[in-house]
Structure 1
Amino acid sequence: MKRPIVCCDFDGTITKNDNIIRIMKQFAPSEWTKLKDAVLSKEITIQEGVGRMFQLLDSDQKEAIQSFILQDTEIREGFEEFVAYLKKADIPFYVLSGGMDFFVYPVLEGIVEKQSIYCNHASFQKERIQIEWPFACDSQCQNGCGCCKPSIIRQLTDENDFIIMIGDSVTDIEAAKHADFTFARDYLLNECKEMNVIHQEYETFIDLKAQFAQIKEVKEWERQRVNAGRS
């Protein structure tokens, strides 16, 4: 029996909006839009584009940016209940985020344990914000992902795991290719259709949880756990 393992994006997936886009709209000069478009068209890598976007911002804006995110960020409906369900079912859950630690950790505090969160690190030591990449691409990936979700998945899983990816954006495409099943919305949904990746559309974690519970491997996992509890 394969063990289900869930890997989940943060911006635009757990949260209703993409926080990097929100930060850029609020704080960055207009040059950020060209960088965003170049990333989406795959003219430049995610790592290059996101790194250059944050270099448009002064480091002394840290507190203002963090306050802006924490005040207005909305968690997608049903997320906390979904995480509680996975914990009860003993299904590992990891957040793989292309976002930055100074806003990802506070948003998820009390919901997801810090050791289960993989994201980028923002440094405020220089005049402009510098992004560091503690989870950059391994030797099997040359895509310049920044926070390389396929590389993290390879570290976390083996051939006995059934990998379930949840995402919405360009940063989730490579992870979806490595997953056994993907829950997708928005940009990622169109990409999954084009790539013929096994997927299911979702809007909230309420409908996602209902669909999740019907996956064959999940049903088998829960059935085996119930039987083990009876023995």
Structure 2
Amino acid sequence: MRRVGVAPCPAQQGESWMWTIVCDFDGTIVPFDVTDRVLDQFADPAWQFVEEAWKHGRISALRCMRLQVAMIRATSADLDAFLDTIDIDPQFPAFVDDCRRAGMPIAVVSDGLDYVIQRILARHGIDGLVVIANQLVPGGDGTYTMAVPYAVAATCKARSGVCKCNQAARLAAGRHRTLLIGDGRSDFCLGEAADLVFARGALLAKAREQGWPAVDVPDFTAARLAFAKLTGRLAEVA
């Protein structure tokens, strides 16, 4: 996806831009990595050695996730009970409403697991939100595998199960500017390509290092204010 710069605030120039909002899940909607918590709870401790292999570049993010998911042993009831203990940023539902009122599409695009994300969002009353993630496939005996319908192995620089750049380009379809909201390594490739980044954590540090157009957004209270400024709708969050 070609980067075309940052739109001035419509409140300043009297013109409204359409944005497609691509939002990460782990470390963003939830303040920690949910997949890691699931692995801590239900997987063979060897998952951490797999994680280290990925961090040091010895295996791809896709292979890392596949190996780790295969280490999980949990009944569906136990997995659900655990997921139901996880809270999201309390302002995220309001942020989704802000996007919808502005007529701007928002999707969760994550290199995590679809069922995990959908279960957590549904418990917090968030329905109808597009979720693009790796598919968690139960084996029926407490085992799991991972399907990757969104992988683009030949071109994905992140070597992830979900190519965020590919999905962002598809969602925006050349008509909208892309706003990325994220926090970590899985967001770096799209961070370089997006028109604007609402960033925290490692993504914010990377954006500052590389000079990407970014706003420091530590939570969705800040994200709501930044989005309102961007779209000229400050009165709605005042």
**How high is the TM-score relative to the length of structure 2?**
0.82
Partner of 2:81: 67
Residues 123-145 of structure 1, C-alpha deviation per residue, up to 9 Å, x if partnerless?
12276311000111265425421
Q: Relative to structure 1, is the Cα distance of residues 88 and 138 closer, same or farther in structure 2, using a 3 angstrom cutoff?
A: farther
**SS in structure 2 at match of 1:122:** strand
| Corresponding residue to 2:138 among 124, 134, 137 | 124
Q: Which residue number corresponds to residue 181 of structure 2? A: 166
Q: Deviations over 1:128-164 (max 9, x none)?
A: 3110001112654254210111111121113331100
Structure 2: stretches of 5+ with no match in the other structure? 1-15
- Matched residues in 2 for 1:184 and 1:20: separation? 20
CA distance in 2, matches of 1:43, 1:201: 32
Q: Which amino acid aligns with 2:58?
A: E
1:198 and 2:213 are equivalent in the alignment: yes
Q: How many residues are aligned here?
A: 216
Q: Distance in 2 between matches of 1:206 and 1:170?
A: 23
Q: Does 1:84 align with 2:81?
A: no
Give the match's secondary structure for 2:75: helix
Partner residue of 1:212 out of 227, 232, 238: 227
Unaligned runs of at least 5 residues, structure 1: 224-231
Contact 1:138 1:151 in 2 (8 A): no
Which of 30, 33, 50 is 1:35 aligned to? 50
- Which deviates further from its counterpart, 122-131 or 44-53? 122-131
CA gap 1:101/1:36 in 2 versus in 1, 3 angstroms: same
Task: Give the Cα separation in 2 of the matches to 1:42 and 1:190.
Answer: 20
Counterpart of 1:93, as a letter, is I
- Residue 40 of structure 1 deviates from its aligned partner by 2.9
Give the Cα–Cα distance (whole angstroms) in 2 for the partners of residues 171 and 73 of structure 1: 21
Question: Quick one: which amino acid aligns to residue 82 of structure 1?
Answer: F
Match of 1:95 in 2: 108
Q: Which residue of 2 aligns with 1:226?
A: none
Q: Deviations over 1:58-97 (max 9, x none)?
A: 3x43331221011x21111311111111111111111102
State the match for 2:30 in structure 1. Answer: 15
The alignment partner of 1:16 has SS state of: coil
SS in 2 for 1:95: strand
- Contact preservation (8 Å) 1:17, 1:74: no
CA distance in structure 1 between the partners assigned to 2:203 and 2:57 by the alignment: 14
Matched residues in 2 for 1:40 and 1:78: separation? 31
Does 1:111 pair with 2:126? yes
Q: Check whether the contact 2:158–2:186 (CA below 8 A) recurs between aligned residues.
A: no
What is the rounded CA distance, in whole Å, between the counterparts of 1:196 and 1:36 in structure 2?
A: 29
CA contact (8 A) 1:77 1:204 kept: no
Q: Secondary structure at the match of 1:213?
A: helix
Letter of the aligned partner of 1:92 in structure 2?
P
- Let me know the Cα RMSD of the aligned residues: 2.1
Q: Could you say which residue in structure 1 is the equivalent of 2:5?
A: none
CA contact (8 A) 1:2 1:160 kept: no
Q: Is the Cα contact below 8 Å between 2:153 and 2:159 reproduced in 1?
A: no
